[in-house]
């Protein structure tokens, strides 16, 4: 039981890991990894059911809940961090008007490094758990990272959409047009027709130019 309690404490500590993108744009109350994972799991459950796809909802929700556990020690590293941030912090928010661009080789090197950090972090989080549970959680993370199964593909896209939704909410709360990068990143990832409709729904619900006090 002790190992399980320690695990639950570690999971709870994810509320202290703030989503890096929101920190970089200077959001007043940045959402944590725990906040993000919770809403993603709800979205996965509801939208997975409504999508009409042959998706295993049970597996989808579990995958959503554990997909960012690794960030407890590895942190939430954004492509902007990997590209190198300017020293002047006041310039960080404006970076988010562009999606970070690089060669394919650079992307692959960054991804390899990030996966290694996350793998180490997750192994450390899971090390004292019963073997079956450890394998299950690690297996879900690996499956998500590979992104081949229907559940992993659906969740990867939903992950981007949850982030976009959060960006739109921050924009509305702060009466500022959300930075463009979240839209661009979503257009370059989402290919599921059901989720493309969700993205179009966001466009209608959060029309550009609604925040007139900029």
Partner 1 sequence: MVEEIKHYLSKNGLKEIEELLDSLNVERLVKIKECSSLVSHPNVIESESFLFRQEIAQIEKKIREIEQVLENYELIKMPSKENRDIVFIGATIVVEVDGELDEFSLVDKLETNPSLGRISSECLVGRMLLGKKIGDIVKVQSAVETIYKIIKVEYREI
Binding site for partner 1 (CB under 8 A): 54, 56, 59, 98-99, 101-104, 107-108, 110-111, 114, 146-150, 153, 156, 180, 183-191, 196, 199-200, 202-203, 206-208
SS3 labels along the chain:
CHHHHHHHHHHHHHHHCECHHHHHCCCCCCCEHHHHHHHHHHHHHHHHHHCCCCCCHHHHHHHHHHCCCCHHHHCCCCHHHHHCCCCCHHHHHHHCCCCCCCCHHHHHHHHHHHHHHHHHHHHHHHCCCCHHHHHHHHHHHHHHHHCCCHHHHHHHHHHHHHHHHHHHHHHHHCCCCCCCHHHHHHHCCCCCHHHHHHHHHHHHHCCCCCCCCC
Least distance (Å) from partner 1 to the CB of residue 13? 25
Shorter beta-carbon distance to partner 1: residue 129 or 196:
196
Least distance (Å) from partner 1 to the CB of residue 185? 8
Least distance (Å) from partner 1 to the CB of residue 9? 26
Shorter beta-carbon distance to partner 1: residue 10 or 180:
180
Shorter beta-carbon distance to partner 1: residue 17 or 190:
190
Shorter beta-carbon distance to partner 1: residue 124 or 149:
149
């Amino acid at each position: 039981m002790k190992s399980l309690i320690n695990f639950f404490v570690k999971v709870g500590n994810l509320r202290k890991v703030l989503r890096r993108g929101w920190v970089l744009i200077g959001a007043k109350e940045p959402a944590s990894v725990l906040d993000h994972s919770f809403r993603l799991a709800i979205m996965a459950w509801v939208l997975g059911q409504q999508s009409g796809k042959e998706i295993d909802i049970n597996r989808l929700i579990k995958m959503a809940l554990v997909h960012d556990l690794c960030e407890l020690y590895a942190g939430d590293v954004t492509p902007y961090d990997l590209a190198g941030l300017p020293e002047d912090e006041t310039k960080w928010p404006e970076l988010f008007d562009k999606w970070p661009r690089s060669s394919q080789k650079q992307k692959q090197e960054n991804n390899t490094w990030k996966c290694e950090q996350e793998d180490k972090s997750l192994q450390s989080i899971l090390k004292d758990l019963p073997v079956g549970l450890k394998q299950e959680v690690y297996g879900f993370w690996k499956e998500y990272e590979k992104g081949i199964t229907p559940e992993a593909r659906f969740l990867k896209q939903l992950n981007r959409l949850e982030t976009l939704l959060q960006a739109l909410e921050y924009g509305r709360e702060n009466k500022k047009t959300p930075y463009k990068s979240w839209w661009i990143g979503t257009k370059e990832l989402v290919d599921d027709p059901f989720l493309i409709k969700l993205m179009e729904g966001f466009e209608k619900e959060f029309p550009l130019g609604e925040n007139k006090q900029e």
